[in-house]
Amino acid sequence: MSKQFDVIVIGGGPGGYIAAIRASQLGFNVACIDEWKNSKGGSALGGTCTNIGCIPSKAMLQSSEYFDQASHHFVDHGIEVKGLSLDIAKMLGRKDAVVKQNNDGIVYLFKKNKVTFFHARASFVAARDGAYDIKVAGSVEETISGKHIIVATGSNARALPGTPFDEENILSNDGALRIGAVPQKLGVIGSGVIGLEMGSVWRRLGAEVTILEGLPTFLGAVDQQIAKEAHKAFTKQGLKIELGVKVGEIKNGKKGVSVAYVNARNEAQTLEVDKLIVSIGRTANTIGLNPEAVGLGLDERGAIVVDGECKTNLPNVWAVGDVVRGPMLAHKAEDEGVAVAERIAGQHGHVNFNTVPWVIYTSPEIAWVGQNEEQLKTAGHAYKAGTFPFMANGRARALGDTTGMVKMLADAATDEILGVHIVGPLASELIAECVMAMEFRASSEDIARICHAHPSLSEATKEAALAVEKRTLNF
């Protein structure tokens, strides 16, 4: 008889492994199946986020930021660095070690929470007796059975039509984190989150970086006052960003890559680079899952169709994270995973999409939550806005990083915070207070009346709240 589980989670990324742990905490007998292999063929739990996404990119962003600081900014502090050099192999090795710590951490968490882990590929076989048979193909092949299935199979990088990733010259987020020597010229297609983060890493390490973006607007989903400020800062740092381009033929040769494109002025151009990162979005991953075997519904883009509670068209089959609708963010996947485990247990798990924070880990960082000014205008929602620049913040001056601002938007009548948008130092951390405020439906006055430590960057958030009522104290 096949092994029986209450819950089988397919995929061990942030959506899957967190769902497995939460389900186990709630008393279920849980299995998690994940096929990711490390360079030695062993398991590598954590999915895209841990292996080729959030974690390694943050390691490389930190290393490259240190190099940039030592190269250009230490001198402002009276620190002179002579004979500065770069050991890329060591930097990449450190990044790999950080990834491994995270892989191992999840193995430990599975043991601690008694989650049964299969290093294998999972696929649907059949629905039988109120449960689902799942084929587990790893070093051995077996079929296991689960009452509830949570699909958390993530997403893959989208390639340009006719230009597959070779991860040598034409790179996805994976290859972009493994370039063995700093390219002299690096091209990036798509000025989204990955393009900006990876472009920043290799620019700081010395590459000449050109980003080609199809849309005429820079960071169209971001509050445009914040996006403009970020664009100004990136351009000053030396990132070349061309908007409104139409990418044509891409030739991948021995010496590098040539990209033909038409610029916003309708002029034919060619960009010659050593390496090209293509970061034009991601597509849901259901490769090998065999959804047809049970009739699991996919939409026209290949994503699993779910309702607001992550229920699929099949009873007791759930799906979370990048493989379903909504932002492709690790923390959204985690929260959906927790909510699904709680729903299986008869509880009322809930994810508030309006308070999912967004962060772009460039320098300056960009972070936001809730609605931006353009969205409020389009919706005809009457609002008040307050901004406060880091230039007027004592901690930012001491840090030597005064780029950017905090912008708060509040309802004109009730003063409820509708959105907060930050570009500046440690925006990724500052946004947490704003997410909490919005989750508790705080008003801008609430933030303005809360005591914030001095000197701290968080005072800029308090001042932005004061600015909503036009009563900043330090500007």
Q: Is 423 in the site for ligand NAI (CB under 6 A)?
A: no
Minimum Å distance from CB 129 to ligand NAI? 39
Hey, what are 378's tokens? 């389009």
Q: Residue 43 CB, nearest distance to ligand NAI (Å)? A: 23
277 binds ligand NAI (CB under 6 A): no
Closest CA to 169 of 278, 283, 57: 278
Asked if residue 328 binds ligand NAI (CB under 6 A), the reply is yes
Tokens of 438: 């919005």
Return the residue of 44, 186, 194, 406 that touches ligand NAI, per CB under 6 A.
194
- Residue 110 or 361: the one with the smaller Cβ distance to ligand NAI is 361
Residue 284 binding ligand NAI, by CB under 6 A: no
Helices (H) and strands (E) in the chain, counts: 13, 22
Could you tell me the smallest distance in angstroms from the CB atom of residue 333 to ligand NAI? Answer: 11
Q: Should residue 344 be labelled a site residue for ligand NAI when binding is judged by CB under 6 A?
A: no
Report how many residues bind ligand NAI under the rule CB under 6 A: 24
Asked whether position 360 contacts ligand NAI by CB under 6 A, the answer is yes
> Which DSSP category does 26 fall into?
T
Judged by CB, which is closer to ligand NAI: 194, or 467? 194
Least gap, CB of 292 to ligand NAI (angstroms)? 27
Query: CB of residue 76 vs ligand NAI: minimum separation in angstroms?
Result: 28
Residue 454 catalytic? yes
Q: Is 211 in the site for ligand NAI (CB under 6 A)?
A: no
Among 131, 189, 317, 333, binds ligand NAI (CB under 6 A): 189
Site for ligand NAI, residues 123 to 162, rule: CB under 6 A = 160
Does 366 sit near ligand NAI (CB under 6 A)? no
> Binding of ligand NAI at residue 213 (CB under 6 A)?
yes
Q: Does 191 bind ligand NAI (CB under 6 A)?
A: yes
Phi, psi of 376 (to 5 degrees): -65, -40
Catalytic residues: 454
* Binding positions for ligand NAI, rule: CB under 6 A: 160, 189-195, 197, 212-215, 247, 279-282, 327-329, 359-361
